[in-house]
Amino acid sequence: MFKKILIANRGEIACRVIKSARRMGILTVAVYSDADRDALHVEMADESVHIGAAPAAESYLVADKIIAACKQTGAEAVHPGYGFLSERASFCAALEKEGIVFIGPKPKAIEAMGDKIESKKFANAAKVSTVPGHLGIIDDADHAEKIAAEIGYPVMIKASAGGGGKGMRIAWSKDEVRDGFDRARSEAKSSFGDDRVFIEKFVVDPRHIEIQVLADAHGNVVYLGERECSIQRRNQKVVEEAPSPFLDEATRKAMGEQSVALAKAVDYQSAGTVEFIVDRDRNFYFLEMNTRLQVEHPVTELVTGIDLVEQMIRVAAGEKLPCAQEDIKLNGWAIESRLYAEDPYRNFLPSIGRLTRYRPPREGKTDKSVVRNDTGVFEGAEISMYYDPMIAKLCTWAPTRLQAIEAMGEALDGFVVDGIEHNMPFLSALMKHPRWREGRLSTGFIAEEYPHGFAPVTPDEDQTALLTAVALSCSLIEANRRERYGDRLRSAAGPLRESWVVRLGADYLPVALLEVVVTIPFEMDMQIGGKTLTVSTDWRPGDAVWVGHIGGSKLTAQIRSVLNGLRIDWQGLSVRAKVFTPRQAELDKLMPVKLPPDTSKLLLCPMPGLVVAVAVIEGQEVKAGETLAIVEAMKMENVLRAERDLVVGKINAKPGESLAVDAVIMEFA
């Protein structure tokens, strides 16, 4: 077994590899760029080596710097994680030349399966079912348009060396093919240094289901069940689960055996994933093979009990697999939610900044479930514009799917992140979505269920009552603490009132207290909307999370102070609450409402990012839907289009400039 390994990656996956290596008694070496000097993976590793500037092309993607770091520290092997150099055969070959072990497959398998075009040719030769498409190199937009017409719309334009949803576009028409081809090539070039793209038929209402395989150097290959990855946005996975609620045992076995056959055909050695598109009739088509560890590997670990990172290390060290196919059993259900630094209320645009608060839920096992959080950040860490926006992967396990969903909902409600925008509200709302809970999924789920983007959820009558109870309990607990300050001569508020009014958003809800004594821990009966609710909690002023029981049901919500009130976040809801006496409520209703400024004549930068292009000039007439500018953030290009016909007045930004969120790019006449 290796004595020391180097992790050629960053963030949560670097931390994840370090944890397994530490359990195995293996020393670890971290590498870091200028932007990651104070990162968590650097702190966790036994040693660390600086490898260059913040852009990945100058640090994490430079193979020579990784090899130099291995020589400097005496690392015997390299774990590449995912992304960066993880699927680059030349990197694997370069390590082998230097006598350093690559913890992953051999160059032959990476070359055969790592390139999407070549992998489909190989799969066709091996009689694996594939999606119809054009596997050759596409010369230009005219060529792409011709091929798309032959295949038939809709089509998928994909980067040959792509991954993570980058360099990928769906085109439903001739015009979209030309634009999608240009955007896919540009993203592929900047993300992977390879601008080759190919086109294939886009399967309508598809499910994205993948099979995890594990193989050693002695000819043993097993499959560890499947993962359902259909909840995607912009072709990037958001929520994954294992097993799939759609597959039956026969389909699972057929997909697994086909995956094993493919792995054996390329002499695969390590953990790998064979991805399939599955249609509504459970017909499955080979999509690609990822010759690396997948982001969503924790859900497989939770349902099989197998540490995939440990097995990758053991296989690389020459050991045999510890289990045969008949030993693999799927136990219970696991779900993974990817916490991204992006604003769900602004069409999920990237967000960067400092994590002023980062308080994940407690990890570990309870009587009913397991909570696991794979992360690479800490409170006070900086979310950089240079890398992927993923902050953490929150996972839950339970005996059944619905129990795992309930555990996930509660864990998300207790996951506190401040300082940046994030997709927690969306993830929390998703856990209550009927279609998700029923397992009626497709890769178009988010686009179909949220066609106009994700908007703040409006509470129903029952939810309003619960939120009202939380708000009033917090107010009474805070008032009780103020009354107990030392050196106070007399009570500032007088006897506890029986009647209160809680304002939630624009609604005013009357509440009657059936008791006039505040106890700590808090327990009180309240009459809200004609119902009597018993409210109990151990919450204290300053606690970020309110945990208690209302009407006999457990509730976990996040509490944040705002001017003269508080904000409550729960199950995708985010409401501002203020507590008044009845007379104060009457006066509050008379207060004028401040309207937001008119920005209809401005193009504002929707996220912190780099201006890639400005597509118009001053004085130009523009039609609705035409491109105004392109802004790049976190390795994704975002095209800003005109929402209506207009005339460009003044342009305030130029290509190459870095802009803050809401910076004015241009003004309209």
Residues with active-site annotation: 288
CA distance 642 to 79: 45
Q: In 433-579, which residue ranges form alpha helices assigned H by DSSP?
A: 434-438, 445-449, 461-483
Closest CA to 126 of 259, 268, 299: 259
d(CA 194, CA 554): 52
- Whole-angstrom CA distances from 414 to 40, 396, 559, 567 are 22, 13, 10, 14
The answer to whether the CB of 175 falls within 8 A of the CB of 200 is no
Instruction: Retrieve residue 426's tokens.
Output: 């969306």
d(Cα 274, Cα 265) in Å, to the nearest integer? 13
Q: Which long-range contacts (CB under 8 A, 24 or more apart) does 249-255 make?
A: 251/278, 251/282, 251/284, 252/225, 252/226, 254/284, 255/209, 255/211, 255/226, 255/284
Identify the three-state secondary structure at position 638.
Answer: strand
User: Residue 235 and residue 319: Cα distance in Å, rounded?
Assistant: 36
Give the up-direction half-sphere exposure of residue 436: CA atoms within 13 A in the CB hemisphere: 29
Helix extents (H) in 45-154:
63-73, 89-97, 107-114, 116-125, 141-151
Burial 215-226 (b: 16+ CB within 10 A, else e): bbbeebbbbbbb
Q: How far lies 131's CA from each of 113, 134, 213, 278, 285, in Å? A: 16, 10, 21, 10, 6
Kindly report the backbone phi and psi dihedral angles of residue 562, in degrees, each rounded to the nearest multiple of 5, phi listed first: -130, 175
Distances (CA, A) of 605 to 104, 601, 628, 634, 655: 41, 13, 11, 14, 13
Q: Rg of the chain over CA atoms, in angstroms?
A: 27
Nearest residue to 45 via CA among 67, 1, 75? 75
